[in-house]
Structure 1
C-alpha cells in the first residue's frame, strides 16, 4: 500500500490548446517585431525602432511566462507544482502556507477582443517565498479549486474569494467604461471626421 502522505490525490494537466496558442502567439509577435525592424531600419536606425522593440519585448514576456507555466498535484501533505518546460518540481507543505490570494485573469488583450478566456491567478506565500500559477492553462480547473478549498485554512479561503470577487468586478467595470467611452467619444469623433471628409470632397 503506498504511503498516504505521498500518494497523489489530484493531478492536473496543462491544456495543450491554451499553451500552444499562447506560445505560438508570443513567437508570432517576436517574429513580427523583427520583420518590422528589418523593414523600417534599412536606411539606418531611426525612432520607428521603438514600436517593434516594444512588440518584441511583449512577445518575449509572454513567451517567458508560457515557459513558466505549471501543472498542479496534491497529496495530503503537499501541494506540488510541476514546471514541465523548466524541468522543475516544487513541493509546498500545506501547513507552511501562511498567505494566499486569487485574482481574476483573462487572455483579453484589448477592448475590441470578443472571444477571450478567463481564469484565476492563485498566489501562495510559504516559507518566505511567493508562488503563482494560473488556471487558464490547466484542464478542468474547477477540480483544482475544489482541492484547494479542502486543504487551505478557512481564513485564507475567505481572503482568496474576496480578492477574486473584487478583481473580477474591477475588470468588468473597466470593460463597461471602455465600451461607453467608445460609444460616446470615439464613434462620434469618427463620424464627424467622415462627414467632414465627405463635405470637403464635394
Structure 2
C-alpha cells in the first residue's frame, strides 16, 4: 500500500501512478485538494486505465462533512452515518442531565418505552467497555449508541441533550471547506 499525502496533488497522483506501474502496489491512496480534480465530470480519471488511485482523500471535504455531522446532531460529540444514512452511530457524553444516568440497561425499556436505541459500549477511564444488562451509564462516560437517523433528536433528549438543530446558518469564508459545507447542507435540505 502507498499513501501519497504531499502538499501537491499532481505529485500525489504521479506517486500512485509510479507505485502501480513499476512496483505493482495493490492499494493506492492519494490526498487531492483541488476541487477541479474532485468534480464528478472527472470521476473516470481515477481508475486503472488512467490514474490508478483506489481512494481519494480530500481534507476539506472531510472537514465539511465533520462540521455537517455536528450540525445534524447537536449535543452529540460525533455521529457517523451508515446504511445510506438510515442508521447513525452517536458518541454522547453522559452528564448529570442525562435521564438514563445510573439506570441499569435492562431497565431502560421499562422506564423509556419509546427509546429505540442500542448502547454498544462506553469509554470510561480511557478504556472501551461493552456494558452488560446489569451495568449502567456513569458520569463522564462517552456512550456509543446506534439509532435510526430519524430518531436522533428523540434519543439525544433522553440522554439529556435538548440542543436545537440550527435552521439558520451563516458560513464565513469562501474557501473549499465553506463551499463544500454549503453544498452538503443544500443537498441535505433538498433530500429532506
Tell me the TM-score range normalised by the shorter chain. Answer: under 0.3
Greater share of helix residues, 1 or 2? 1
Q: Please say which structure displays the higher CA radius of gyration.
A: 1
TM norm structure 2: 0.23
TM norm structure 1: 0.22
